[in-house]
Amino acid sequence: MAKELEEKKEVTIVFAGDSGDGIQLTGTQFTNTNALFGNDISTFPNYPAEIRAPQGTVAGVSGFQLQFGSIEISTPGDTCDVLVAMNAAAFKVNFASLKKHGTVIVNTDGFSARNLKLAGYESNPLEDHTLDDYRTIQIDVTKMTRSALVDSGMGKKEIDRSRNMFVLGFLYYMYNRNLKGTEEFIKQKFAGKPELIDANIRVLKAGYNFGDTSEIFTSRYNVKAAQLKKGKYRNIMGNQATALGLIAASQKSGLDLFYGSYPITPASDILHELARHKNFGVKTFQAEDEIAAVCSVIGASFGGKLGVTASSGPGIALKGEALGLGMILELPMVVINVQRGGPSTGLPTKTEQADLLQAAYGRNGEAPIPIVAAKSPSDCFDAAYEACKIAIEHMTPVLFLSDGYIANGSEPWKFPQSNKLKEIKPKAAKKEGDYLPYKRDENLVRDWAIPGQKGLEHRIGGLEKEAETGNVSYDPQNHEEMVRVRAEKVAKISNSVPDASIDFGPEKGDLLVLGWGSTFGVIKTAVKDLNEEGLAVSHLHLRNLLPFPNKLAEVLQNFKKVIIPEMNNGQLLSMIRDEFLIDAKGINKIQGVPFSTQEIKAAIKENIATL
C-alpha cells in the first residue's frame, strides 16, 4: 500500500542502546545521510562514562541525539520526537526527553525479564500503560536481523552486531531517505571482508523493506533540504574542524605543523585526524605523557615550526609549568583544551566549561596567555585558525578552548576559500647589526630567530631576561619591567581582533545574554524565540576571553542587566565582574550535559521580571 508523505520542518531523534550496539555509528550514518540530502543538522553524542559497564545496565547506555530540518538548526533539540531504544536501560535513561505523543521505536528483545531487572524495572514499561500517551513501534530487531542472515553461515554473535543496520534501514524508509550513502560506507569500512559487507547491506535493506511492507504506519515523513547559503558543504565534527583549522593556518603561514600530544578523552580525535594529513607536511608525535608532549612542542616552536598540543583539564594541569616556560620564552604555540567534567578524572565522557579560570590563571607567577574559545563544531575551524594567527603574529602561547559537546557534535560546514582566509605573517628575525632577541615592535612583539641562522645566535631559558638582550637578569627593576611588558603585549592583542558587538537583538535595552563557548546554540535559539514573543533581549557571544575584545565595556553598559549562562559555577561571571565592575548574574549548570533552550528562556524571563 502506497504511503503518503507528511511534511516536517524539523525532527529530533535519540538513538540509545548498549555501548556495543553501534549507536554512535548509527547516529553518525543517519546524520551524514541527512547532511548529504541538504538538511541543517546539530548532533550530541552522549557516551557512557564507564568503558566496560555491564551490558543492559543504565551505566552502559550510549546515546546519540540529532535534530535535522529544513529550517535553521542551532541545537540538537531539547526534547525528541522519536526515541529509538535497543533495550530497557536505554529506554529508562532517555524516556523523560521524549515529547508527549512522540514515537518510541523499541527492540522488544531488549525488554526481556533479565534486561528489565538489569535496568531496575519492576514491571515492563511496554505493558504497564507507561506508553499510553505515546506512539509505540515494537520490533523484535534481533529476530528480524537473524532471519535476514539465516543462510549467511555467520554465528549469532556476529549476526547480532548488525542489528543497528536494521534500525537504520527502517528509519531511512520512515524519513524517505536513500540507502546509497550507507551502502558505500559499509563497503569502505569492511573492505576485503565481503561476508561482512553482504551481511550489513542485507540487514540494512531488510529494515528498509520491513518499513515498506509492514502496516506499522500509513504515512512516511519528509524533511526538505534547508535553505543554506550557497557553497560546498560537508558535515563536520568539532575535533575534525579543529584539525583542519590548524592545517589551514600551517599552510597559510608557510610553517610546518608539529603536533605533540598524549591521548586523552575527548581530545584524542584531533591527533587521529591530523595523522591522516601527512601530505600537508603535518608531523604528529604521541608522547609518553602530557609533560613530554608540551615540551616537544616548545622545542618544535623554537625550531621554527607551528607547534600545537592538546589535552583536557587534567592534562592541561600537568602542562602548566611548561606553559609558563613557553610564555617567558615568547614562542608561538597553541595549546588546546577540550574541556570535560572535573575536577581530577571527574566525568571524562561528559561536557563542561569549567577550565576557563585554569586557562586564565593556572600558572605560577604573572603569566598571561591569550584565550580563544570556539562556539560550535564548525566554528572550531575559524577559532583554531585565529588561535594560530595570534600565536604566530604576537609570539606567544595561545590557549584554545573547546569542550566535549562541540568536539563530538557535528553540523554542516561551508568550505572556506583559501584566498579568503586572513594572512598569517610570521615575524622572522633578520640580521641587521647586533641582534637583540627581545627587542620589540610597536605591539611589543619580538622577532622569531630560528636556530642555525648566522648572526642570530641567542640565549633562551626559563630565567628572567634582561630587556632586549635576553641575558639572565636578577635586577628587581628589570623583572618588574619585563612582567609589565609581557602583560601589555598580550593586552594589545585586543587591537587585532574584532570589537565586541551584539550577535542578535537590539544594541541597548533591558537584558543582555553574554555567553562563550558551546552555549552559543541554545542562547541564540532562546533569544530569537523570545524576540519573536515580543521581548527585547540581546545576545553577545565572546570568542576572545583574554584579552577581552575592545568596546566590550560600552556594550555591557548599554543594558540594565547582564546574565551569563555557563556550564560551570560562574567563571566568566567572575572575570566580567572583576574587569568591568558590573553586577552580572550567573546562570549555572554543572551536570555534564548542555543547557536546554527552555532553561535559558526561563532564566531570561525570570531576570526580566525582576527589572
- Give the residue from 170, 198, 222 where a domain finishes: 222
Nearest of 305, 334, 282 to residue 426 by alpha carbon: 305
Residue 57 lies in a domain: yes
Nearest of 238, 272, 269, 234 to residue 32 by alpha carbon: 234
C-alpha cell at 141: 530487531
Q: Both 169 and 207 in a single domain? A: yes
Q: How far is CA 202 from CA 33, 147, 169, 189, 494, in A?
A: 18, 11, 10, 15, 58
pLDDT confidence of 51, banded at 50, 70, 90? confident
C-alpha cell at 394: 604576537
Q: Both 215 and 239 in a single domain? A: no
Residue 35 lies in a domain: yes
If one counts every other C-beta atom within 10 angstroms of the C-beta of residue 496, the result is 13
Q: Both 161 and 257 in a single domain? A: no
Q: What is the CATH number of the domain that holds 93?
A: 3.40.920.10
Q: Both 516 and 380 in a single domain? A: no
pLDDT confidence of 95, banded at 50, 70, 90? very high
Q: Both 319 and 359 in a single domain? A: yes
Q: Both 250 and 192 in a single domain? A: no
Concatenating the DSSP letter of every residue in 146-164 gives HHHTTTS---HHHHHTTHH
Summarize the confidence of residues 428-454 as an average pLDDT: 92
Residue 284 lies in a domain: yes
Buried b (16+ CB within 10 A) or exposed e, 579-593: eeeeebbbbbbeebb
Q: Collapsing DSSP states into helix, strand and coil, what is residue 335?
A: strand
Q: Both 48 and 26 in a single domain? A: yes
pLDDT of residue 326: 98
Residue 476 lies in a domain: no
Cα separation of the two ends of the chain = 59
Q: What is the CATH number of the domain that holds 280?
A: 3.40.50.970
Cα torsion for 187, 190, 195, 200, to the nearest 10°? -70
pLDDT confidence of 37, banded at 50, 70, 90? very high
- Give the residue from 170, 195, 222 where a domain finishes: 222
> Average pLDDT of the chain?
95
Largest CA distance in the chain: 89
Q: Which residue has the cell 525570570?
A: 606
Sign of CA dihedral 254, 256, 262, 264: positive
Q: What is the pLDDT of residues 175-221, one digit of tens each?
A: 999 999 999 999 999 999 999 999 999 999 999 999 999 888 777 89
Residue 469 lies in a domain: no
- Reported in sequence order, the residue ranges of 268-409 that DSSP labels E, i.e. its strands, are 283-286, 306-311, 333-339, 371-373, 397-403
Q: What is the CATH number of the domain that holds 525?
A: 3.40.50.920
Q: Both 190 and 289 in a single domain? A: no
Q: Which of 341-345, 452-456, 495-499, 605-609 has the lowest mean pLDDT?
A: 452-456
Q: What is the pLDDT of residues 563-603, one digit of tens each?
A: 999 999 999 999 999 999 999 999 999 999 999 999 999 99
pLDDT of residue 2: 64
- Give the residue from 367, 387, 415 where a domain finishes: 415
pLDDT of residue 1: 57
pLDDT of residue 218: 73
C-alpha cell at 455: 648572526
Q: Both 177 and 56 in a single domain? A: yes
How far apart are alpha carbons 497 and 550 in whole angstroms? 8
pLDDT of residue 147: 95
Which neighbouring-strand residues pair with 399?
335, 371
pLDDT confidence of 8, banded at 50, 70, 90? very high
Residue 484 lies in a domain: no
% of the chain residues with pLDDT over 70: 100
pLDDT of residue 215: 81
Please count the structural domains in the chain: 3
Q: What is the pLDDT of residues 114-130, one digit of tens each?
A: 999 999 999 999 999 99
pLDDT of residue 19: 84
Q: Both 325 and 398 in a single domain? A: yes
Summarize the confidence of residues 458-468 as an average pLDDT: 93
Summarize the confidence of residues 321-338 as an average pLDDT: 98
Q: Both 216 and 86 in a single domain? A: yes
pLDDT of residue 343: 95
Q: What is the pLDDT of residues 128-161, one digit of tens each?
A: 999 999 999 999 999 999 999 999 989 988 999 9
Q: Which residue has the cell 585565529?
A: 386
State which residues form the domain around 276: 234-415
pLDDT of residue 352: 97
Q: Both 406 and 516 in a single domain? A: no
Task: Please answer whether residues 576 and 582 qualify as being in contact, where contact means their C-beta atoms are separated by less than 8 angstroms.
Answer: yes
Q: Which of 60-74, 210-224, 533-547 has the lowest mean pLDDT?
A: 210-224
